[in-house]
Structure 1
Amino acid sequence: MDNLKLFDSELKLMEIIWENEPVCAKQLGLLANDLIGWNKNTTYTIIKKLIEKAVIRRDEPNFMCSSLIKKKDVQKAETKSLIDKLYSGSKKAFFASFLQREDLSEQELAEIKEMIDKR
């Protein structure tokens, strides 16, 4: 998972798959058209790329698509990549930057503090 890079278009389709799996390619095409305005060819091209990356699998009949990776694993990898790229791997620098730039409610701050205290 560490070397896997999903592009924005692939992540968009993965969101639809995670929300609806298992889902047939035809239904994916309809959902992608409704939700993000893609045509069938675009959707099928992205499906093919995700299969080649071993991120989803296709089962017969009906070209049923299911994820081979969990959303939380992708989120973890993408977050690590972002922190490595923008903050030289420093979680402390990332967190400090986030807290300085975000307007958090008292409830959100309390929830974050609780998460930290549980670690």
Structure 2
Amino acid sequence: MAKNIYLTTAEEKLAHLIWRHAPLTSPDLVTLAEREMDWKKSTTYTVLKKLCDKGIFKNDHANVTILLTQDELIAHQSRRYVEDTFGGSLPKFITSFFGGKKLTPTQAAELRRLIDEHEKGDVNG
């Protein structure tokens, strides 16, 4: 996945609705969007098409399925942010993120655990 995926506010709202209820039919999605967000059918289908074009969902014969989970999208966006803003340097990102603040012992232990897992290759996903 080479391109950056940005979601508009409307796309985020519909994506969260789909992630909570998928798989579902597109008519069911229209009903949910109307009930939960007061959207018209045309709005739902327009935004759904944009999300499908971005490779997040698939609408095949009125069946909406997930191609990219919320966690996968966040991971992709996070990696792209570090690449674009910090030249791919995770240490530079972490230094900037903490901005001189001290780590709590719990945060430090969690970071050590994550580093150990990734060095050993014991990572799920």
Deviation at 1:47, TM superposition (A): 0.2
Aligned length: 116
Structure 1, unpaired ranges of 5+:
none
Percent of aligned pairs sharing the same letter = 27
Post-superposition offset of 1:54: 3.7
Distance 2:17 2:7 in 1: 15
- Given the alignment of the two structures, is residue 69 of structure 1 paired with residue 68 of structure 2, yes or no? yes
Q: 1:111 to 1:31 in 2, by over 3 A?
A: farther
- Provide the alpha-carbon RMSD of the alignment: 2.9
Give the TM-score normalised by structure 1: 0.71
Give, as a single letter, the amino acid of the residue that structure 2 aligns with 1:51: C
Residue 2 of structure 2 corresponds to 2
- Please give the secondary structure, in 2, of the residue aligned with 1:57: strand
Tell me the distance in 2 between the aligned counterparts of 1:97 and 1:115.
19
- Where do 5+ consecutive residues of structure 2 fail to align? 119-125
Bigger Rg over Cα: 2
Query: Does the C-alpha gap of structure 1 residues 49 and 103 become closer, same or farther in structure 2, counting only changes over 3 Å?
Result: farther
Structure 1 equivalent of residue 91 of structure 2: 92
TM-score, length of structure 2 as denominator length: 0.68
Corresponding residue of 1:13 = 14
What amino acid maps onto 1:24 in structure 2?
T
* 1:40-80 per-position Cα deviation (integer Å, ceiling 9, x unaligned): 343321101122334322233xx221112233432222112
